[in-house]
Structure 1
């Protein structure tokens, strides 16, 4: 199979994320449905955090078994920096956005209305969460694309194709995870917004496949996986706060479990490919 065909299949694997995005267009879901959608997204994202960290730690774990301390040190440091950047970076970014909103709300007088018209429109909290989820998933999917490209570069074409199928199925559930905060708040994103979110979340699979065929580098993969895990973990914390406000503990618990099981089910295809 040619390099161009592998790259095309990698693009298809990434863009299956659009299968789940239209759920964000649901009209005025009931409070229970909104809480359920939010909880399923939490389950999917919790699975992703575990899955991403497992893959990020693998090279370091192998180095530990071989007593290769230089690789252990570099791998652990790269993962720690990626996690800190992804998690703490979003905390500070969110605080900066909150300060901007607070400063805008404190303005008064004749110039306030003019300033509000001229100032760039800020996103709602749900829209910001959706963008953060898409970004975190995009980083994760870039690392998945690297795995596809690396397999093809090493001549393991059957593995590369099976990874494409598995990641494609997995990305379909990730699309739902992106729009869950919007559905939970009853916000209906425009089709152009869904297109952008899909490009951010799914496009990196294509880019990773392209890069991975020419660059086999564990450190790069660990760095992107660490960033992804940190950013997704931040979003999980935010969605848990939304879940607590609903007061539907039993429903939330079962739907989180459903999300986890969906994550494991789609990942099983990737595991089978690796076997």
Structure 2
């Protein structure tokens, strides 16, 4: 298989994320449907946190088993830094956005109202969450693209194709996870917004495939996986707060379970095919 074909398949794997994005265009969901959409997204994202951290820890675990202390310390430190930046960085970013939103909502003085109208529009909380989810998934997908490119570069074309199929299935469910906060709040994003969210979430798979063809580096992969895990974990915490406010504990529990099972089901397809 040529380099161009592998790159093209990597792009397809990334852009299957668009299969789940149109759910964000649902009209006026009921409170129970809102809670269900939010909870399924939580389940999918919890699975992704586990999946990302598992892949990030694999090189470190392998180095430890071989008593390669320098390599394991480097990989573990990289993962810790990535997690910290991904999680704590979003906490501070969200605080800054909150302060902007508050100042925009409270004009004071004679010309303040006119100034507020001219100020850049602050993204809604649901819109900000959707962007954060897309960013976290994009970081994750860049690392997946690196794996595809690395496999192809090492001549393991069958593994590369299996990775493309598996990541494509994962990305289809991830698209739903991105727009779930918008659907849960009854916000209908424009098709242009969905296009940009898909590019942010799925485009890095294509870029990672390009980079991975020429660069085989565990540290780089661990760094992006750590950033992804931290950012996705932050979003899970936020969505859990939304779920608690609904008061629909039983429905939320079953839908989180459904989201988890969807994540494991797509992963099982890849494992079975690889076996």
Give the shorter-chain TM-score range.
over 0.9
- 2:252 corresponding residue in structure 1: 252
- 2:225 corresponding residue in structure 1: 225
Deviation at 1:153, TM superposition (A): 0.3
> What are the Cα deviations for residues 146-183 of structure 1, in whole angstroms up to 9, with x where unaligned?
00000100001111111101110110000000000001
> What are the Cα deviations for residues 206-243 of structure 1, in whole angstroms up to 9, with x where unaligned?
00001001000000000000000000000000000000
Task: Give distance in 1, aligned partners of 2:109 and 2:203.
Answer: 45
- 2:148 corresponding residue in structure 1: 148
Alignment of 1:7-46 (within 5 A): 7-46=7-46
* Stretch of structure 1 that moved more, 96-105 or 140-149: 96-105
Deviation at 1:100, TM superposition (A): 1.5
Asked whether the 8 Å contact 2:107–2:116 carries over to 1, the reply is no
Asked whether the 8 Å contact 1:144–1:208 carries over to 2, the reply is yes
Asked whether the 8 Å contact 1:18–1:198 carries over to 2, the reply is yes
Deviation at 1:274, TM superposition (A): 4.3
- 2:57 corresponding residue in structure 1: 57
- 1:188 corresponding residue in structure 2: 188
Deviation at 1:270, TM superposition (A): 2.5
Deviation at 1:107, TM superposition (A): 2.4
Task: Give distance in 1, aligned partners of 2:273 and 2:119.
Answer: 50
Asked whether the 8 Å contact 2:149–2:209 carries over to 1, the reply is yes
Name structure 1 gaps, 5 residues minimum.
Answer: none
Count of matched residue positions in the alignment of Structure 1 and Structure 2 = 275
1:209 matched to 2:209: yes
- 1:200 corresponding residue in structure 2: 200
Over aligned residue pairs, what C-alpha RMSD do you find? 0.8
Asked whether the 8 Å contact 1:159–1:273 carries over to 2, the reply is no
What's the TM-score once normalised by structure 1's chain length?
Answer: 0.98
Asked whether the 8 Å contact 1:163–1:273 carries over to 2, the reply is no
Deviation at 1:202, TM superposition (A): 0.2
Name structure 2 gaps, 5 residues minimum.
Answer: none
Alignment of 1:122-133 (within 5 A): 122-133=122-133
Residue 111 of structure 2 aligns to a residue in which SS? helix
Task: Give distance in 1, aligned partners of 2:61 and 2:79.
Answer: 12
